[in-house]
Chains A and B, each alone.
Chain A
Amino acid sequence: MAADKVIYAMYDDDDVLKNGAKKLVSKGVKINEVFSPFPIHGIDPIIGVKNTRLGIMAFIYGLIGLTLATVGMRYFMIEDWPMNIGGKPNGTYLENMLAFIPITFEFTVLCAAHGMAITYLIVNKTLPGMPAQNPDPRTTDDKFVMELRMSENDGFSSSELETMLKDTGVIELDQKEI
C-alpha cells in the first residue's frame, strides 16, 4: 500500500469531539477512527461504525451448548448406562428431562458466555501480548483522539482538514505517515 498520511486530532472532552465529528461528517469528511478512554455514547452512527453482531453469536453459542448438553445427557443416562433408581428405570429422555434441566441450563450459559468472550477477544485482536495501537498514551486517560486518513479524504487537502478541525475545539493536532 502506498504511504498514507494520518491526522490525529486530540480533544479533551467527549461531547466536544462528538459535536466536532458531526460537523466534519456533515461537510463530507470521513473519520476513520476514534480512540477514547471510555465508550462515547452516540459516536458510532456519526462515524459510521455498525452495531456489533456479537449478541447474535452469543445466542448461537448458547444453542450449541443446549444441543450438546441434551445429546450428551441422553446418551450417558438413557442409552449408554440407564440407571435404575429405586426400581424406577430411566425410560425415555422426556420422562427424565426434569433432572437434566439444571445442567442443561448451566452448560448453555457456559458455552454462550465463553464462546462470546473468546469471539470478542479475537475479532478485537485483543489477545495477550498484542501491542497497543492507540496513537497517544493519554487516550486511555482523559484525552479523545480522532483519526482522519488522507487516502479516505481525497476531496480535501491536509491544510483544509486542519483548518476544519481547529474550528471544532481541538486541543492538539498531529500528523503521521504510515
Chain B
Amino acid sequence: MHKEAAIREPLILGHKTYHDITEDVCRPIEDKAPRTWYILFAIALIIGLYGVGCILYLLGTGVGVWGLNKTIGWAWDITNFVWWVGIGHAGTLISAVLLLFRQKWRMAINRSAEAMTIFAVFMAGLFPLIHMGRLWLGYWVLPLPNQFGSLWVNFNSPLLWDVFAISTYLSVSLVFWYIGLIPDFATIRDRAKKPIPKKMYSILSFGWSGRAKHWNRFETVSLVLAGLATPLVFSVHSIVSFDFATSVIPGWHTTIFPPYFVAGAVFSGFAMVQTLLLIMRKAMGLEAYIHTKHVEYMNIVIMVTGSIVGTAYITELFISWYSGVEYEGYAFFNRATGPYWWAYWSMMTCNVISPQLMWFKKLRTSLLFTFIISIVVNIGMWFERYVIIVTSIHRDYLPSSWSMHFPSHIDIGVYVGTIGLFFVFFLLFARFFPVLALNEVKTILKSSGESYKNAPDEHHDAPDPVAHKVVSSADEQPVVEAPKAEAKKELTAEEAAAKTSALMSKLGEGSAENKDDLKAISGVGPVLEGKLNEIGIYTYEQVSKMTKEEYDLLDELTGSFPGRAERDDWAGQAKELMNKSNS
C-alpha cells in the first residue's frame, strides 16, 4: 500500500468512509438542483445563445462583420482561440502529468479540471472554424482526395499541424476523461432509484461491474493514456505557437515561443481551475476533498509557471534589443509605448507581478485572494495573446498601411458568448456527472484520509472507520468480530416463535404484496432481506418503528452480525426512504 508521511496534511479531511465519499459526490446529482443552479444556468444560457446569434449573423453576412482590416487580418478570434486552448492545458496537466508524478492531490480535482479542458477546447475550436467563413467546407482541412486533381492540404504548414494537434488533443482528452468516468457512472447507476436516470446511467456506464481484471486493465490504460497525453499537451501549445513563430513578422519570429506558450497555457489553465473549483467546492459541499492544501498546491504551480512566463517576457525584450534588428526592436518598443501600451502593461501587471505574490504563504493559502488572482491571471493571459497578435501586425514594414484594431460588437458578442457556452457545459457537467473521481479518491482514503492518518499504525491494516466515530452504546462491536459472536447460541423453535411474535406485535403486520426494497437500507443485503421477510418484515414502515429493543430481538432471531442494525440506524434510514417514496 502507498504510505504517506504522517506530517503531511491529509488530503481528505474529516472522518470519511468509502460510503461517505459516494454519498458526498452522488447526492448533488440525485437531489433536486438548487435554485442558484437554475439561475446561473439561465444566465449562462442567455449569454451563450447571444453568442450563437452573433455566430449565425457572422456566417450569414461574412467575416467582414469583425473588426479586421487589410493590415490586421488576425486579431480577436485567434486571441480567443489561443486563450481557450491555453486554459484547456491545465486539465490534462493535472490528470496526466500529475498521474505520472504520482501526485495524489490531483485525484480530487482531475475530473472537473479535465471537463474544463474539454469544454475549453470546444470553445477554442469554434474560432478557427467560424473564421473559415464557409463553415460547411471545414472538412477541406483534412487530407481527402478531391476534384482538384491531386491537390492535398499543405503538410508543411503549422496551421495544418494545428488541425491535427487540436483534434488529437480533444479526442484523446475526451477518451481519457470518459474511461475514468465509466466506473463512477456505474456507482450512480447502482444507486439510482428512478427508472429514467437508472437507464441513462446504465447506458453511460457501459455495464461496468468492477471485476479485478477490469481494474487491472483500467489502471494500465490510465497510465498509458497519461503517458501519451503528457507529450501531447506540450506539443499542442508548441504547435499553436508555431502558427506565429514560423512566420517572419517581427515580434512573432522567435524561438522562445513554444516553451513560453506552454508555460503560459498551464498558468492560465490553473487559474481557471481555481476560479471554477473555489465556487464548486462550496456550492456542492466538497470542502473535505478540495481544501486549502489543494488550492495551495495549485497556487505553487501558478507561481512557477507565472515566473517562467515573466522570464520569457524579459528575455524577449532583451533579445529584441541584443539582436540588433531594428524592426524587432521597434516591435517591442511599440508594444510598451505605442497605442496599445495599456494592453501591454495590463499583461505585465497581471502575469508578472501577481504570481510573485504567491511566495507569501499567507496569500497562497487565502481562498479569497486566490480567487481574485485567478481572475486577474486570466485577464492578463487574454491580454498577452492580444498584445502578441495585434501589436505585432498593426504597424508593419510600410507606415502607410499602419492601422488599429477595434473589436466590433460581433467580435465581443462571439467572445462573451463562448464564455456563456463554456459555463452552460460546465454547469451541466456539475449537475449530472460525478465531479470527483470517486474510484480514485477511495484509493487514497486509507493513506491520506484524516481518520486513518491520525490513527495508530496497526489500524492501517485492519482499519475500522466506525471506531473513530463517537461510540455511544456499549454493545457496539467492530465488524471483524461479528462472526465469532454468531456461533454462540442456537435458538430453539419455540423461543424463536415467541420472539417473532413479540417483535411483530410492535412493528405491525406487513405483507409480501406491498413489500418495499429493503436492500435500499445500507447494511441489508439480499440474504438479510430474505431473513427479514421470513420473520414478516416487508416494509420501510415496519423497519422505521424499530428501537433498541427490537434490534436486539432481531439480532437474536437472525443470528447474524449483532449490533449492525443499530449502528447503521435502520429505522432512521427507513424513515428517509419512506419520505422519499411518498414524495
Chain A positions within 8 Å of B, measured between CB atoms, are 10, 12-13, 15-16, 19, 33-44, 47, 49, 51-52, 54-55, 58, 72-73, 76-77, 80-81, 83, 85, 96, 99-100, 102-103, 105-107, 109-110, 112-114, 116-117, 120-121, 123-134, 136-142, 166-167, 169-174
Docked Cα-Cα span, A16 to B459, in Å, equals 12
Q: Which residues from chain B contact A99 at a C-beta distance below 8 Å?
A: 155-156
Category for how many chain B residues contact A:
35 or more
A39/B443 in contact, CB under 8 A: yes
CB distance from B325 to the nearest CB of A (A): 21
Q: Which residue of A lies closest to B172 (CB)?
A: A113
CB distance from B106 to the nearest CB of A (A): 16
B206/A136 in contact, CB under 8 A: no
Docked Cα-Cα span, A95 to B575, in Å, equals 76
* Count: A-B pairs, CB below 8 Å: 233
Chain B positions within 8 Å of A, measured between CB atoms, are 1-2, 17-19, 22, 143, 150-156, 158, 160-161, 164-165, 167-168, 171-172, 175-176, 179, 182-183, 186-187, 189-191, 202-221, 223-225, 228-229, 231-232, 235, 239, 242, 438-440, 442-443, 446, 461-464, 479-480, 482-483, 486, 519, 522, 525-528, 561
* Residues of B contacting A: mostly: helix
A81/B151 in contact, CB under 8 A: yes
B215/A40 in contact, CB under 8 A: yes
Given contacts A40-B215, A123-B217, A124-B217, contact A140 B210 (CB under 8 A): yes
Docked Cα-Cα span, A103 to B236, in Å, equals 11
Q: Which residues from chain A contact B160 at a C-beta distance below 8 Å?
A: 103
Q: List 13 A-B contacts (CB under 8 A).
A: A10-B525, A13-B463, A37-B183, A72-B143, A77-B155, A106-B161, A109-B168, A110-B167, A124-B217, A128-B204, A129-B203, A138-B525, A174-B525
Q: Which residues from chain B contact A137 at a C-beta distance below 8 Å?
A: 190-191, 519
A85/B156 in contact, CB under 8 A: yes
Q: Which residues from chain B contact A138 at a C-beta distance below 8 Å?
A: 190, 522, 525
CB distance from A122 to the nearest CB of B (A): 11
CB distance from A115 to the nearest CB of B (A): 11
Which of these, A41, A120, A139, contacts B217 with CB under 8 Å? A120
CB distance from B409 to the nearest CB of A (A): 37
A134/B209 in contact, CB under 8 A: yes
CB distance from B195 to the nearest CB of A (A): 15
A106/B175 in contact, CB under 8 A: no
Task: List 6 extra interface pairs beyond A13-B462, A136-B526, CB under 8 A.
Answer: A40-B215, A41-B443, A77-B155, A83-B154, A132-B207, A141-B187
B462/A16 in contact, CB under 8 A: yes
CB distance from A118 to the nearest CB of B (A): 9
A120/B179 in contact, CB under 8 A: yes
Docked Cα-Cα span, A80 to B579, in Å, equals 72
A121/B206 in contact, CB under 8 A: yes
Q: Which residue of A lies closest to B23 (CB)?
A: A141
Q: Which residue of B lies closest to A41 (CB)?
A: B1
Q: Which residues from chain A contact B153 at a C-beta distance below 8 Å?
A: 76
Q: Which residues from chain A contact B161 at a C-beta distance below 8 Å?
A: 102-103, 106
Given contacts A116-B225, A142-B19, contact A100 B155 (CB under 8 A): yes
A39/B218 in contact, CB under 8 A: yes
B211/A15 in contact, CB under 8 A: no
B208/A77 in contact, CB under 8 A: no
Q: Which residue of B lies closest to A127 (CB)?
A: B206
A73/B212 in contact, CB under 8 A: no
Docked Cα-Cα span, A78 to B440, in Å, equals 48
B152/A77 in contact, CB under 8 A: yes
Which of these, B1, B155, B165, B439, contacts A39 with CB under 8 Å? B439
Given contacts A76-B155, A107-B164, A133-B209, contact A117 B175 (CB under 8 A): yes
A172/B527 in contact, CB under 8 A: yes
CB distance from A162 to the nearest CB of B (A): 10
Q: Which residue of B lies closest to A105 (CB)?
A: B235
Docked Cα-Cα span, A169 to B479, in Å, equals 7
Which of these, A96, A171, A174, contacts B482 with CB under 8 Å? A171
Q: Which residues from chain B contact A133 at a C-beta distance below 8 Å?
A: 207, 209, 211
Of all A-B residue pairs in the complex, the 8 with the closest CB atoms, nearest first, are A130-B207, A142-B18, A137-B190, A39-B215, A126-B206, A142-B19, A38-B439, A133-B209
Which of these, B164, B229, B438, contacts A103 with CB under 8 Å? B164
Which of these, B187, B214, B482, contacts A126 with CB under 8 Å? B214
CB distance from A171 to the nearest CB of B (A): 6
A132/B189 in contact, CB under 8 A: yes
CB distance from B447 to the nearest CB of A (A): 10
B152/A114 in contact, CB under 8 A: no
CB distance from B437 to the nearest CB of A (A): 10
Given contacts A132-B207, A141-B190, A169-B480, contact A106 B442 (CB under 8 A): no
Q: Which residues from chain A contact B156 at a C-beta distance below 8 Å?
A: 77, 83, 85, 96, 99
A174/B527 in contact, CB under 8 A: yes
Docked Cα-Cα span, A80 to B231, in Å, equals 31
Docked Cα-Cα span, A110 to B167, in Å, equals 9
